Chain A
Amino acid sequence: MIEFKNIEKAFGDNLVLKDVSHLMETGKCNLIIGTSGSGKTVLQKCLVGLFEPDKGEIIYDGISFTEMTQDNRKELRQQIGMLFQGSALFDSKTVEENVMFPLDMFTHLTHQEKLKRVNEVLNRVNLEEVNKKFPAEISGGMKKRVGIARAIVLNPKYLFCDEPNSGLDPQTSMVIDKLIYDITKEFNMTTVINTHDMNSVMEIGENILYMDQGQKEWSGNNKEIIFSKNERLNAFIFASEFLKDAKDMRMLEAKGKISNDRDMDEMMM
C-alpha cells in the first residue's frame, strides 16, 4: 500500500502537482490517468524518489518515504520494480544480462541459480529464445516484457509502470495489460500504472486516479468511471465518438432499455 498526502511539486514557477492525495492499494492495479502534461509522470517520479516533492508525504506500508535516510531508501528501492515508457533496457547488455543485472548487483546467488531465476521470469512474461539477443534486436512489445521481467526478478512489493502501452499496437497492449494484471495478483504487489490508454483503464483499472492540470480530479474504478458525472473526466474518456456511443449503450443497458443483440444493432445504426 502506498499512500501520498498533499503532494506539491514545482519546476521554477510552474506548479506541476497541486495538493495531490490518494491511496494505492495492495494487490490491485492502481492507475494514474490524465491528459499529456497533467502531472502523472511527475507524480510517479515523486513516488519512486526520482523527484523530491516540495510538500507532502509519501508513505510505503506505514513507513514515511519522504523522511527516510538515503540508506533506507536504497533498501526500499530493492523492493521496487519499474517499467519505463521506453523500457530503459541497457543497450550494451543482452536480454539475459539485463534481467540478471539486479540479481548480480543485490544477491549472492551462484550463476546457475541466477540463470534459473532469469529463465523463470522470462518464461513468466512469455519470452523464449531471446536470452542472447540485444535490445536493438527485439520488438517494442518484447522490450516491454523484458522490462517487466527485469522489474519483477527480485520479487518486488511495488511495481511502477510508466505508460506501458505507449508505441504498441492494441493487441500487444492488451497482452501487456493482462501480464501486468496477472503478475499483480500472483505476487500480491502494489502496482501503479501511468496511462492514458482507455483500453487499459477499462480492462485493469481497479483503482483509478484521474489527474487534471496537476490536481486530483476524480478517483474510482473501471466500473464507476463510465457513469461518472465529472465533466473533465468525461471529456477525457469520451474524446472519441465511438466511446461516446459505447457509453450511451452502457447507460441504456444499465437502465434495461437494451434487451437483446437486435436492439444493440439498432443503436449502432
Chain B
Amino acid sequence: MIKGMFTKPENVKMYWKEFMHQCNDIGIGSLGIVSIISVFIGAVSAVQTAYQLVSPIIPLTTIATIVRDTVILEFAPTLVCIVLAGVIGSKIASELGNMRVSEQIDALEIMGINTKAYLILPKIAASLVTIPLLVVIAMVLGIWGGRMAGTASHILSPETFDKGLVMNFTPYNVTFALIKSYTFAFIISSIPAYYGYYVKGGALEIGKSSTKSVVVSCIMLLFADYVLSQLLLNPAT
C-alpha cells in the first residue's frame, strides 16, 4: 500500500488541497479532545504525585519535576496518541471503508486517479505534521494543568511549581517525545487507512474494520512505545 502511494500526482494543487483539508480535520478537529485530556492528565498526575510523596525530606519542587517528566515522556505522546488512535483512526478507516463500499474509490480509479496517493498519502502526511504539534500542545497544557491543580488544592505554590519545572530539565526528553509522536502518527494513520481501503462487504464490515483498526493501532502503538523506550532511554543500550 505504501509503495503504491508514491507516484507523480495528477494535479499537485488538488493533492495540496486534500492535504490541507486533512490537516484541518486531523489537527483542528482533535484539538478540543487533546486539550481537555491533557489538562486533566497533568492535574491528576500532580495530585497523585503529591499523595505518594509523603516524606518531608523530599522537596515540593519534586512534584513539578515529576509532573513535567511524566507528561513529556509518556502522557503527552502515548496517552494522547492512544486517544487519537480512536478518534482519527476510526474516522480514517470508516471514511475510506465507506468510499470503497459505495464505489467512490472505483469512481476515482476510473477517472485515472491513483487512489492510494490521493486518498491515503494526504492523511498520513497530515498526521505526521499535525500529531507532533498536538503532542507539543498536550505537553504545555498537561504541565499547566498540573500547576493549576497543585496550586488550587494548596499542595504547592505557583512559584515552587515553576522552580521545580526548570530544575534538572533534560531537553532530550522533548526530542524523545517528538520521535515517539512521529512514529505514533504514522501508526495511527497508516493502519486504519489499510483497514479502510481494503474493506470488503457492507456497513457491518466497515464497522468491524474500523474497530479492528483502532485495536491494532493501539497495540502497535504500545509496542512501539516499549521498543523506542528500550532503544532511546535505556542507559544499558
Contacts and interface: CB of A to CB of B under 8 A. Distances in A.
B162 interface: no
A250 B102 CA distance: 41
Given A104-B14, A105-B14, A106-B11, A85 B103 contact: yes
Interface string A40-82: 0000000011100000000000000000000001111110111
A105 B104 contact: no
Interface string A72-100: 01111110111011101111000000000
A212 B182 CA distance: 54
Interface of B: 10-11, 14, 98, 102-104, 106-107, 109-113
Q: Size class of A's contact patch?
A: 20 to 34
A162 B106 CA distance: 12
Given A105-B10, A105-B14, A86 B112 contact: no
B14 A77 contact: no
23 contacts: A48-B110, A49-B109, A73-B112, A74-B10, A76-B112, A81-B110, A82-B107, A84-B107, A85-B103, A86-B102, A88-B102, A91-B102, A101-B111, A102-B111, A104-B11, A104-B14, A105-B10, A105-B11, A105-B14, A105-B111, A105-B113, A106-B10, A106-B11
Interface of A: 48-50, 73-78, 80-82, 84-86, 88-91, 101-102, 104-106, 160
A90 B104 contact: yes
Given A49-B109, A74-B10, A76-B112, 9 more contacts: A50-B110, A74-B112, A78-B111, A82-B110, A88-B103, A88-B107, A91-B98, A105-B10, A105-B113
Contacts of A49: 109
A88 B109 CA distance: 12
